[in-house]
């Protein structure tokens, strides 16, 4: 069975964690100073590297080369060649215990953890407990975890991970070092996808890669899974195939419709929508993409300095197109249209005729200003 791309290209060094530069720097400095903490909390969007970072901490704590080579230890990275690193990498280490709190959320599981934590590590110097989706634990389970989390044995380290930080009790969060994992920018995801495609010799167009990167919605794992799915289904991946299999459209199509709307060209805009619908595009997602695109147009029209922020989401060419559209737009008119789009998006999600709210929004706004 082939290894999934998101597992094959999981970060093996802290430096491989893209888009989390602040977190990486802090953890590297802690590793260099031999001051890795006893309890961490990683929170943020899915697929941004929380569990991967937890495993890297396990490597740092048990890496043999870091113990014997002080110069190497100064790099703040695991060696990925010693026995401990390789076992953790393959998921075969007895000193790393991963718990899925979504399916092991009760007090009995935490009591079992408390009983096992007192035993010494099997091979390495530290036992690392990674509790994923920790917000799923029950109230009694959280209470049972408190004391152990605050004062674990010297050989134990906890790493808690969650996508829903607000559901955690303050008594838990206050006992950990907290790090937020931000959604990855489309540009960062695109860079990694290109590297994977090159390494795997996947024949894919740049426009198709852009659709996949956007489909990841800030998650490296989701984008890599999409690429895996597409590469397994066809030898050559072009834009049409990527759009058909993901249900999304490339930014060029969103940009083209935005151009027709700004030009007040109701006839061609409606024809364009009909073609998109016939192609089987997910109109809910398409409308959502259009809303975000017009948000950028209006923001850039109001404050050109925002171009700096958009550079993490768009290529130089895409920003150039966006600037041209912003220059030709009327702010008051597009604010009205954007509000109509948001209303249409809400209706599309529950309508048996999803094309209708989008068409009505276009007709109403373009006709009244024509």
77 and 97 share one domain: yes
Mean pLDDT confidence for 290-305 = 93
Question: What pLDDT digit, counting tens, does each position of 166-179 carry?
Answer: 999 999 999 999 99
- The pLDDT, as a whole number, for residue 38 is 94
pLDDT of 369 higher than 60: no
- The pLDDT, as a whole number, for residue 109 is 84
21 and 165 share one domain: yes
231 and 338 share one domain: no
| Full 3-state SS string of the chain | CCCCHHHHCCCCCHHHCCCCHHHHHHHHHHHHCCCCCCEEEEEECCCCCHHHHHHHHHHHHHCHHHHHCHHHHCCCCCCCCCHHHHHHHHCCCCCEEEEECCCCCCHHHHHHHHHHHCCCCCCCCCEEEEEECHHHCCHHHHHHHHHHHHCCCCCEEEEEEECCHHHCCHHHHCCCEEEEECCCCHHHHHHHHHHHHHHCCCEECHHHHHHHHHHCCCCHHHHHHHHHHHHHHCCEECHHHHHHHHCCCCHHHHHHHHHHHHCCCHHHHHHHHHHHHHCCCCHHHHHHHHHHHHHHHHHHHHCHHHHHHHCCCCCHHHHHHHHHHHHCCCHHHHHHHHHHHHHHHHHHCCCCCCHHHHHHHHHHHHHHHC
For residue 351, what pLDDT band results from cuts at 50, 70 and 90? Answer: confident
- The pLDDT, as a whole number, for residue 368 is 56
152 and 199 share one domain: no
pTM across the whole model: 0.82
- CA-CA distance, 53 to 17, in Å (whole number)? 8
- The pLDDT, as a whole number, for residue 173 is 94
- CA-CA distance, 27 to 34, in Å (whole number)? 10
What percentage of residues in the chain have a pLDDT greater than 70? 99
pLDDT of 370 higher than 50: no
Burial (Cβ within 10 Å: 0-12, 13-18, ≥19) of residue 58: buried
What percentage of residues in the chain have a pLDDT greater than 90? 71
> Which two tokens mark 179?
């790090």
240 and 318 share one domain: no
Residues in CB range of 54: below 8 A, 6 or more apart: 40, 42, 128, 130, 159, 161
Q: Which residues partner with 280 through β-bridges? A: none
- The pLDDT, as a whole number, for residue 250 is 87
Mean pLDDT confidence for 237-263 = 89
248 contacts 345 by C-beta, under 8 angstroms: no
CATH of the domain at 288: 1.20.272.10
- The pLDDT, as a whole number, for residue 336 is 93
- The pLDDT, as a whole number, for residue 108 is 84
289 and 222 share one domain: no
Range of the domain at 308: 251-369
- CA-CA distance, 326 to 70, in Å (whole number)? 55
231 and 156 share one domain: no
Looking at 202, 226, 246, the residue that finishes a domain is 246
76-85, 107-116, 131-140, 347-356 — which is least confidently predicted?
A: 107-116
Looking at 246, 281, 298, the residue that finishes a domain is 246
């Amino acid at each position: 069975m082939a290894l999934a791309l998101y597992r094959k290209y999981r970060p093996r060094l802290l430096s491989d964690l893209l888009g989390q530069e602040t977190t990486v720097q802090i953890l590297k400095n802690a590793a260099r100073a031999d001051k890795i903490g006893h309890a961490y909390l990683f929170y943020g969007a899915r697929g941004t590297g929380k569990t991967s970072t937890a495993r890297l901490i396990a490597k740092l704590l048990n890496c043999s080369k870091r113990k014997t080579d002080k110069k190497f230890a100064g790099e703040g990275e695991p060696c990925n060649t010693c026995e401990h690193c390789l076992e953790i990498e393959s998921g075969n280490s007895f000193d790393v215990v991963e718990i899925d709190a979504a399916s092991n959320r009760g007090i009995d599981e935490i009591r079992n953890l408390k009983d096992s934590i007192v035993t010494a590590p099997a091979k390495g110097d530290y036992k690392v407990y990674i509790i994923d989706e920790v917000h799923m634990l029950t109230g009694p389970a959280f209470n049972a975890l408190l004391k152990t989390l605050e004062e674990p044995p010297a050989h134990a380290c906890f790493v808690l991970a969650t996508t829903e930080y607000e559901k955690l009790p303050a008594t838990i969060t206050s006992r950990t070092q907290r790090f937020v994992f931000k959604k990855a920018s489309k540009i960062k995801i695109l860079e990694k996808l290109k590297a994977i495609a090159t390494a795997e010799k996947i024949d894919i167009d740049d426009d198709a890669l852009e659709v996949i990167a956007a489909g990841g919605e800030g998650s490296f794992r989701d984008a890599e899974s999409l690429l895996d799915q597409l590469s397994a289904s066809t030898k050559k991946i072009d834009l049409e195939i990527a759009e058909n299999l993901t249900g999304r459209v490339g930014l060029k199509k969103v940009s083209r419709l935005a151009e027709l709307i700004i030009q007040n060209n109701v006839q061609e805009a409606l024809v364009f929508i009909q073609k998109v619908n016939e192609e089987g595009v997910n109109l809910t997602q398409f409308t959502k993409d259009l809303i975000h695109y017009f948000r950028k147009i209006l923001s850039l029209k109001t404050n050109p300095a925002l171009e700096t922020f958009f550079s993490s989401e768009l290529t130089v060419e895409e920003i150039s197109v966006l600037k041209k559209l912003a220059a030709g737009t009327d702010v008051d008119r597009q604010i009205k249209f954007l509000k109509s789009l948001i209303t249409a998006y809400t209706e599309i999600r529950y309508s048996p005729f999803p094309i209708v709210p989008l068409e009505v929004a276009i007709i109403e706004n373009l006709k009244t200003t024509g």
